[in-house]
Structure 1
Amino acid sequence: MDRRNFLASSLAASAAMVSAFQASADESKPGEALQPTEKPAMKPTLKPNPIAVSTYSFWQFQHEELRDVEKCISMAADWGFDGVEILHRQMTSEDPGYLQKLKRAAFTNGVALSGFSTHQGFLSPNPAIRQKNIDHTIHCIELAYALGIPTMRVNTGTWGTSKDFDDLMAKRGIEEPKPGFTDEDGFGWVKESLEKCLPTAEKCGVLLGLENHWGLGRTAEGVLRVVKEVNHPWLEVTSDTGNFLEDPYDRLALMAPRTILVQAKTYYGGGLWYTLDLDYKRIAKIFRDAGYKGFVSLEFEGKAPPMEAIPKSLALLREAFSV
């Protein structure tokens, strides 16, 4: 075929293809012929909440043979937990080498360091005491950052008008303010103190979770008041299932939409201070209905031996938070 005939044949074939494409487009709905083949929309797949364990569950401030955090991480992995929440007061060092050793232990055992549980108290009329606790909280945020932990439990603190924690528990967590002051004063101090901690939390990427942990956090309304008034994206809620001694389900439901970590108490052998008969399937539904997808962190607070009660608690939570 000579050059002239080849060009003529090619042009005729191209014209035929364009005509066929146009005819197909004309028979289709507007835009349909030009759209790529679309895959059917995928339905969201629900998955069970990952289950972690607080190192407090082992130590409980009394079992010195179970205090070693690295040992707790190893046992948690052996039993099948997905993560470990570290209790700050349980750590025996804050040296950089120690922190990195814990991070390495978690990684090599295939578990996440899912939370950092700290203590602070902002319910004091003394600005120096509040500043000391602010400084402590900022320091703990930086420790969490060094450990690669994404969330940290914070408290309002208590008024300190009880003799000790046993006395506070005997009064079911209800405590009078210091003489001459009111809870309204306290809410102002807590708000102001947390606002001073949050720039560091944001810089480090550590999400603070205000827990229902006595003081002004004894009620769901108190926790939510602080969180809403502070109104900062790096302050949310840590929900403890065992710190509401009355109407736990209604109160947990109030906090569930703002919750970024659930701490789940169990009491095998009877509680150290009190025992709650918690329906964990009901609790799981409360958080599932609120769209909670995060960690559920076991805090075993019973008198049974931790080496027996912790695996038993894991089975309970696995069943309840399965979907």
Structure 2
Amino acid sequence: MKHLTRRSAVSSVIAGVAASAIPFGSSASAADEPKKTEPKRRTRFAVSSYSFWQFKNEDLRPIETCIDLAAEWGFDGVELLEMQMVNKDNATLQKLKQRAFVNGMDLSGFSTHQGWVNPDADVRNKNTQKTINSIEIAYKLGIPTMRVNTGRWGTSGNFDELMANRGIEPTLEGYTEDDGFKWVIDGLTECLPTAEKCGVTLGLENHWGLGRTPEGVMKIVRAIDSPWLKTTLDTGNFLEDPYDRLELMADDAVLVQAKTYYGGGMWYTLDLDYPRIARLLNKHSYNGYVSLEFEGKENPKTAIPKSLKMLQAAFEAA
């Protein structure tokens, strides 16, 4: 017996209604009927609070300011950077949730930092507990997805040096990448019961360290094989061949972070083809948020609205 899905059941009903509307003896054919097209779903755009603050603009650090400006400029949601938050007590979290609500905005994502690429078990355990605490904050804010990282070896002198080396750094002496992958897989696995309990889907980002390549990200995601661990795509973190690499992660994407660089990038500038990226995401049936991460030197108050208009045009044309 053929399995009847909800889609096929609805289609059968629609077909029956359409057939009954044709008069008996009518010579109408399928060619005479107007062609039906699927309505195009509007892409929803968020903006990361990082786009305002960028670790340097203290007047744009308050999350409340970011929410208000995002609403004023026409975004649908805001992605919060945990590191940017000054207070994380429950009263503050609920006020932020209310502020987004009265502005007609979603709190659409939560970006966190953690690192399990460390031979010290105590350090790894602290990062696991930190990530669990972040999941619980996301739950209190009503945020459905949270960006997570692998962490990195830390053998670069600083982030500027890491960027100068295109995100590549050697392993710690005496350890291999296989060691690092095991540590990350174990740490994320410990976080998943809390993610499931809170209904927060983790999105592992292509964000340096063992997540610098799509193969590295997907090795972790496939090894864990949980509906509560998917991917966050950052369009600006593949410095070479970004489109083919993004596509390797696209089927599992729960959030897309779209980089722009007006005024020149703070560490580098990529000339990203957003109509092509939009077509790529459509091909993989991605229906989630596209969250702007402005990482240029122009004033965020002019560059962020400019970025939104560019992204809207690119995705509308796709």
Q: TM-score, normalised by structure 1?
A: 0.87
- Residue matched to 2:107: 113
> Highest CA radius of gyration, 1 or 2?
1
Q: Structure 2 matches for 1:1-323, cutoff 5 A?
A: 38-40=16-18, 44-322=38-316
Which segments of 5 or more consecutive residues in structure 2 lack a partner in the other structure? 1-12, 20-35
Query: Structure 1 CA distance, aligned partners of 2:118 and 2:62?
Result: 33
Equivalent AA in structure 2 for residue 221 of structure 1? E
CA separation in 2, counterparts of 1:111 and 1:139?
24
C-alpha distance in structure 2 between counterparts of 1:179 and 1:36, whole Å: 66
Moved more, 40-49 or 114-123: 40-49
Q: What are the Cα deviations for residues 169-218 of structure 1, in whole angstroms up to 9, with x where unaligned?
A: 01110011111001010000000000000000000000000000000000
Runs of 4+ in 1 over 3 A off after TM superposition: 35-44
Normalised TM-score (structure 2): 0.89
Cα gap change, 1:215 to 1:145, in 2 (>3 Å): same
Give structure 1 stretches of 5+ with no counterpart.
1-34
Helix, strand or coil at the partner of 1:122: coil
Write the letter of the residue equivalent to 1:75.
L
Root-mean-square deviation (CA, aligned residues, Å) is 1.4
Deviation at 1:47, TM superposition (A): 1.2
CA distance in 1, matches of 2:214, 2:71: 33
What is the aligned length?
Answer: 289
Structure 1 residue 320, shift from structure 2 partner: 1.1
Cα distance change of structure 1 residues 52 and 228 upon mapping to structure 2, 3 Å threshold: same
Amino acid at match of 2:16: E
Residues 80-105 of structure 1: CA deviation (Å, up to 9, x unaligned): 00000000000010111100010001
1:150 maps to a residue whose letter is: P
SS for the counterpart of 1:321 is helix
Q: Which amino acid aligns with 2:144?
A: P
SS in 2 for 1:73: helix
